[in-house]
Amino acid sequence: MKDPRVIFAGTPEFALASLSALVEAGIRPVAVLTQPDRPAGRGKRMTASPVKQFAEEQGIPVMQPATLRDEGVVAELEALKPDVMIVAAYGLILPQNVLDIPAEGCINVHASLLPRWRGAAPVQAAILAGDETSGVCLMSMTAGLDCGPVFVAESLAIADGETAGELHDRLARLGGELLVAKLGGILQRKFIAVPQDESAATYAGKIQKQDARLDWSLSAGDLERRIRAYNPVPGAFFFINESLRVKCWRAVCIADLAATPGMVVASGPDGIDVACGSGGLRLLELQLPGKRRIQAREFANQLDLVGRELS
C-alpha cells in the first residue's frame, strides 16, 4: 500500500518517538489524536503533550477529545477515511466503533514482550520483577487491554543498573524503528498476527506515589530494583525521623549488615550503608525536598545518619 492514510494516537515522549519516526520516514498522519492539555510544573500551567507540540510544529492537524465515545468525534474520525490507526501510549480506551474505523485496523506500539506486562506501566514492572529482557510489540488492537494478536516483536537486554527512564528511552527508540521497518509489511499482510498465550499474561498496573516508598524489611535486591524502577517517576523515597522525606535516585547492593532493617550502619565517601531485610543497600544519590540531587557523600557531610533508623 502506497502512502497509507494514517491517524496517529499518542500522548507522552514514548509516543513521540514513534510519531517522529513516521514523519522522518515520509509517512505523515492525516491527523493526530492526543490527550487534552494538562496542568504541569510548579505553576500548574496548561501544557500540551509532547505529541501535540511536535504535530503542530509539523503542521499536522491535532484532535484532543476528552473521550472517544462522543458521536461527533467518531464521525470526524470516519470522515478522515484512514487506512490504519497507530496507537502508542495514548491514554484513552478505544471503543469498538473506533477500532472498526480504519480499513486495516489499529496497531498498538507496546513497550513489553506481550503477553508479559500488559497495562499501564510495563517498563517499571519489568525492572521491579528483575526481568533480564524487555522489548516492543506491534499488536493488532482489540477491545481488551493489550490482549490482541501480535504482528512482530523485538527484544533487548535490560542493562545492569538501568533505570526505568533509561529503559523507556531505549524502548521508545526501538518502537519507532520497528514501526517504520514493519508497517508496510503489516499493511501488505505479509505478517500474520499471532494470538497471545493467555496463560502467560501478566499485568502492570498504574503506579501510585505511595508504591515508591522504600520498605526496609524487604531484601536489598528488591529495594535496589524499586529505586531504579521509580526513577525518574515518581522517585523512590524514605523518611528520616518519620517526617523528613528523602528521595533516593541511585543505590547498589552490598554485603549483609548485622543490624535492624532501616538502620544506617556506615556513612562515608563511598555512600550511606543501610541494613535491609536481607543484605545491605549503599545509597549513592539523594535529594531533600526542594533541593537538587546530590551524591550521598555530600549528603552525609550535611547530615549525620549513622545509628539512625530510616522509615
Domain at 6-204: CATH code: 3.40.50.170
What is the model's pTM? 0.96
In this predicted structure, the answer to whether residue 268 has a pLDDT above a threshold of 80 is yes
What are the pLDDT digits (tens) for 64-83? 999 999 999 999 999 999 99
In this predicted structure, the answer to whether residue 1 has a pLDDT above a threshold of 70 is no
Where residue 163 falls among pLDDT bands split at 50, 70, 90?
very high
Cell numbers 543484605 correspond to what residue? 279
Cell numbers 523507556 correspond to what residue? 168
N residues, the chain: 311
Residue closest to 299 by CA, chosen among 283, 310, 311: 283
Domain extents for the chain?
Answer: 6-204, 209-302
Determine the pLDDT at residue 43: 78
Dihedral pair phi/psi, residue 13, rounded to 5°: -60, -35
Where residue 209 falls among pLDDT bands split at 50, 70, 90?
very high
What are the pLDDT digits (tens) for 127-145? 999 999 999 999 999 998 9
Residue closest to 21 by CA, chosen among 178, 184, 191: 178
Q: What single letter denotes the amino acid at residue 196?
A: Q
Instruction: Identify the CATH class of 209-302.
Output: alpha beta
What are the pLDDT digits (tens) for 219-259? 999 999 999 999 999 999 999 998 999 999 999 999 888 89
Q: Name residue 139's beta-bridge partners.
A: 108, 150
